[in-house]
Structure formats: C-alpha cells, structure tokens
Amino acid sequence: MSFQLPRNIPNFSDGIRKVENITWQGFKGGSDLPLYKDKPWASPLRRPRFYRRKRSYLILLLLTSIVLFFRPWVTIASRARRLQPPQKVVYGDSWEDRREQIRQSFVSSWDAYSRDAWGMDEYHPLTSSGRNMVQDGMGWIIVDALDTLMIMNLTTQLEAAREWVDTKLSYDKDHNVNVFETTIRMLGGLLSAHYLSKDDLYLEKATDLGNRLVGAYDSASGIPYASVNLQTGQGEPSHVDGGASSTSEATTVQLEMKYLSKLTGEAIYWKKAEKVIQVVEGNKAEAGLLPIFVHPTTGAFRGSEIRLGSRGDSYYEYLLKQYLQTNKKEIVYKDMYAEAMLGVRKHLLKYSNPNKLAFIAELPQGIGGPLSPKMDHLVCFMGGNLALGATEGKTAVQAKSRGWTGQMEMDLLLGGQITESCFQMYNTTATGLAPEIVYFNMEQDDATEDMSINERDAHNLQRPETIESLFVMWRITGDPKYREWGWQIFQAFEKWTKLESGAYASVSDVTRIPPPPRNNMESFWLAETLKYLYLLFSPIDLLPLTDVVFNTEAHPLPRFDMEPLFQTGWARKTDDVKSTT
C-alpha cells in the first residue's frame, strides 16, 4: 500500500545531502555552553595528552595493586561512577549510516513483537508472549507506532498495521481505561497517523475514541476523572489518592482534543480540554508551580507536593505547546509557561557538587518546605522544552536575529545544561544506561560523585526524555555533540537491552553488568525513543519544529490557526497573577 507524505517530509536521500551541507554559523562547538564540559580535554587547565597518559598508567598500576591486595574487603561504595568524558567517538559511521542502524533496531523490535504478540497491548519479550489490557486489545503498541512506521518509511510493516486497525481495532469495550494514557498514546497516535498519511481510517477511529473519552470530563469541576469506561463513557475517579487525578494527566490531553476539534469542526473536545487549564489556573498556585494532584469534584489541589517528574511533568510541556499549536495566538499559555519557568528557577533549580550539574529538584511539602535533590528521568524532557520555549522552534541563529531577550538566552542555556545532566545520568553508570531516578549531591563535601542511585530506582524502561531533549537541542543549536551523545546512548541500548531473539527489553539494574532484563517492552520504545533517535540523525527539514508540535508521546501534530472555528474561551484575571520575583 502507499500513503501520501505530508509536505514537510522530504525525500530522505535528498534531505541527508542537504543537512550535511549546512554550516551552523555561530554555533561551532556550542560556544554558548561551558567548554570544559563539552570537551574535557580541551580545557586550558588540563595537562598535555602524553603526560596524562603516563600518569594514567601509573595510577592504573597503583589501583590494580591495591584492588588485588585488598580484594576480599572491597565493596562497591557507590552505585554511580564519577563523571566521565563521553566515550570516544568512532568515526566512520555517517549520520545516514547511524540513522539506518536505528531504523534496523526499530525493525528488529517490531518483527519480534509481530512474531510473538501481534495485536496485543503488552509485549513480554522474555517469554515471547503478550497480554491485552482490554478484551481483544486496544492497539496499545500498534497504534502508538503507526507514525514511526510512516516516518521511517516502513511500508510493508505499515500495511499490516493499517490492516489490523481497519479490521480488528474497536474501542467499544466495557472497560475502564486511563484517560491520559489513552489520549496521548491512542488518540495522539491516530491523529498523528492521519496527519502524516491523510488516511481517513485513522481520523474515523480517532473521532470514535474521542467521543468515548469526553465522558471523563463530566465531573463537577471539569477536571477529568482518572479513568473512563469506553462503552458507557462514564468517568471513574482514581481508586487511590483520595480520588484525585494526577495534575499532569489532567493537563496533558489538550493538544490531542483541540486538534480533534480542528479536524472535525466539533467544539466539544476543545471546550472540555480548555476548561481543565482554566480550572487549575483558577487555583492561583504560587509561582506557577502546581501540586501534583487535583480533585475532579472541587477542582482544588490535593496536598502541596511539587515536582516536574511523575504526575507533574507534562503540565509544563503542554503550556508551551498549546501556545505553539495554535500559531502563537493564545498568549495566556505563554504567560503561564513563563511564570512557571521563573518559578522553576527560583524554587527548584539547583547545581550539584562537585561538577555543578544543573538539576530540577522536588518540593515534597510545597514551596517553603524542605527540598529533595531527587530527579526522575521523566524530568529530562525539560532540556528540550526550555530550548523550544526560547526559540519557539526556530534555530537559535534564526531566533537570535530578531527580538532575542536575555531571558531567552538564559532558557536556551539552561536547556543545554539540563540536557547535559541527563546525558550524564547515562554516561556515569556501568552500562551507559540511565536509571529511573537519581539523587544529586548538594553537599559541600569531598564526594566525588554528582549523583547516586538507590537500588529500587536502578531500572531502565527505555524511556525517551533524554533523547527527546538531545533531538530538540540538536535541531535548535546545530551542535553535533548532541548527536554524538545520542549515538552513545543508542549503543548502550543496543548492547544491553537487545535480546538474542531480536526483541528489546527493559532492564532492572543499570549498575550491573550485564543488567538483568525485565519481561517488558514499553510501547514508547517504538513511539518515542527510537523515533526521536531516528529524527536526531535525520534532515532538519523532516518535521520542522517551526511547523509541528510533538505531543508528549512524540506524535507530531501540525500547528494550525484557530480562526474562524475556535477561540480561546477564557482569560486570566491578571490582577490575581502571583509574582515570582
């Protein structure tokens, strides 16, 4: 079968030639970022290479002798190693070769899934089996991967996937599903597939699903319940957390619902989604930083815990992206985003010791309470998000030519710093894979490690956030170090998460060699991690950041004009906006 490429998807081979001819004036070597971190051996404080090598041999000899002598008593004191320079780059693989290797990893993952668990919602690669979340499945893996199949031009695989969607996929299930996950993965996946292919099948399925999801918003406040029954449309409060919904879940459905309105001309999805932001904004959270639970009945926050990791993260992503989605007309979201980023700087941004890595900490008891130096890998989307907020999708060179402010410069710089810290979450472990959570060292002590890992947090689910930031930073700055870092991470995935069967699996401990595999492959491995890796090595005019917004599951959706169908249906009461300064 064939599908039509949208106008921004160029002929691949042409595109590759184009990107390799581009000269990134003003960004050679990332001159905006600290040199010693980019190129550890280029610092003027370092001694010449020959001396370093000799000294290294001596140190190695000494350490080997000590270890051999004391071996029975040696224990591993820390689970994260010292900061390392990025691994030596092996030249010879062109960007195009690397992109093809990433495509082959996708094919291998997809073939294994197709062989072992075709059509099932979960894939268990160790037992070569799968499981459905609802009877006969809801397309969890297939629908989430449709647009990656298109972007990678995998037409045979896409044909089978489309056939499954056409003949097997039904959302008419008497079953409760998570509203957020179903929206970002299924609705987002179908809408993106429609955007890229213009195939009406995907829009029909998306509209059917959207109609089943809207019932979730019929709460007293308009905040969606955590779950909804797909057959009855009845919302269901969370069974834990006092029935409260996650803040990030309630506020990360807007891009999908609004685009569905745009495509169908039906305002209902738009209004339901928009109302959620109006309600949370009405709580006037200090410094624009929202507690991580919100009650669907009252619309009030539950508790005071603040973080940009789980349950908080994508609220901040969708503020910015809602502003971008409707061609920068909805200033209300830009204002809220700017306020929140000031709040992040004032209350959450810290630098570790000894290497001053930037990280975004947590406030378990809210503003004014003690700070926790914990950072989820989930927070790593913030590197790219800050850069995207600074240039609004343009390259930094383009953005700096007009209306560039000090704040934008600072946000771009911070985006680079957070991305680097996230890269170090990979670069400092034995496997080169990041754990789920790290704790940064804020003490002024003699510690040699900037971060440590608790045993319970040492797993890796093949999450995308760091790769996502590397992709956005590369697109915006043109600094090739982001591609090199992405390549290093990809090689660690190849080395430690690929099974003999060709499948890829999560691992349970990134500090162990070899890391024990887990019997799971998340759908976002195909939908996000491999897609962002592929785009990192693709031409920059493939899905330009000036034309699309990626939803939080990496499904590209177009930017569009609201008029004449829709308008922002609410306004902030500016008098009430709390200052963060």
Is residue 479 a contact point for ligand DMJ (CB under 6 A)?
Answer: no
Evaluate whether 106 touches 526 at the Cβ level (below 8 Å): yes
Binding mask of the shown chain, residues 387 to 416, with x at each position contacting ligand DMJ by CB under 6 A: ------------------------------
Q: Nearest distance from residue 308's CB to ligand DMJ, in Å?
A: 12
Is residue 178 a contact point for ligand DMJ (CB under 6 A)?
Answer: no
Q: Nearest distance from residue 465's CB to ligand DMJ, in Å?
A: 6
Is residue 429 a contact point for ligand DMJ (CB under 6 A)?
Answer: no
Nearer to ligand DMJ, 314 or 428 (CB): 314
* 3-class state of residue 36 by DSSP: helix
| 166 contact partners, CB below 8 Å, separation of at least 6 | 201
* 3-class state of residue 199 by DSSP: coil
Is residue 436 a contact point for ligand DMJ (CB under 6 A)?
Answer: no
Cα 510 from Cα 126, distance rounded (Å)? 18
Is residue 122 a contact point for ligand DMJ (CB under 6 A)?
Answer: no
Is residue 207 a contact point for ligand DMJ (CB under 6 A)?
Answer: no
Q: Which of 105, 314, 352, 419 touches ligand DMJ by CB under 6 A?
A: 314
Cα 554 from Cα 256, distance rounded (Å)? 12
Instruction: Name the catalytic one among 436, 468, 522, 528.
Output: 436
Q: Which of 271, 374, 463, 531 touches ligand DMJ by CB under 6 A?
A: 463
Nearest Cα to 551, choosing from 187, 139, 141, 103?
Answer: 187
Closest-approach residue to ligand DMJ (CB): 552
Nearest Cα to 464, choosing from 559, 534, 542?
Answer: 534
CA dihedral sign, ordered 66, 67, 71, 77: positive
> How is residue 244 annotated by DSSP?
P
Evaluate whether 390 touches 408 at the Cβ level (below 8 Å): yes
Q: Nearest distance from residue 563's CB to ligand DMJ, in Å?
A: 30
Q: Which of 552, 555, 557, 580 touches ligand DMJ by CB under 6 A?
A: 552
Helices in 478-538 by DSSP H: which ranges? 481-497, 523-524, 530-536
Query: Could you give the angle at the alpha carbon of 549 between the alpha carbons of 408 and 474, nearest 5°?
Result: 55
Give the number of other CB atoms < 10 A from CB of residue 413.
17
Is residue 538 a contact point for ligand DMJ (CB under 6 A)?
Answer: no
User: Catalytic residue at 436?
Assistant: yes
Q: Which of 293, 318, 337, 524 touches ligand DMJ by CB under 6 A?
A: 524
Is residue 435 a contact point for ligand DMJ (CB under 6 A)?
Answer: no
Nearer to ligand DMJ, 479 or 528 (CB): 528
Q: Nearest distance from residue 228's CB to ligand DMJ, in Å?
A: 18
Q: CA separation (Å) from 101 to 186, 217, 279, 482, 515?
A: 27, 43, 46, 17, 22
Nearer to ligand DMJ, 496 or 524 (CB): 524
Nearer to ligand DMJ, 330 or 553 (CB): 553
Query: Could you give the angle at the alpha carbon of 253 between the alpha carbons of 381 and 250, nearest 5°?
Result: 90
* 3-class state of residue 554 by DSSP: coil
How many chain residues touch ligand DMJ (CB under 6 A)? 8
Residues 320-379 that bind ligand DMJ (CB under 6 A): 378
Cα 189 from Cα 559, distance rounded (Å)? 16
User: For residue 61, with 0-12 CB atoms within 10 Å meaning exposed, 13-18 middle and 19 or more buried, which class applies?
Assistant: exposed
Q: Nearest distance from residue 518's CB to ligand DMJ, in Å?
A: 15
Q: Which of 309, 384, 464, 539 touches ligand DMJ by CB under 6 A?
A: 464
Q: Which of 475, 553, 566, 580 touches ligand DMJ by CB under 6 A?
A: 553
Catalytic site positions? 436
Residues at the site binding ligand DMJ, with contacts judged by CB under 6 A: 314, 378, 463-464, 524, 528, 552-553
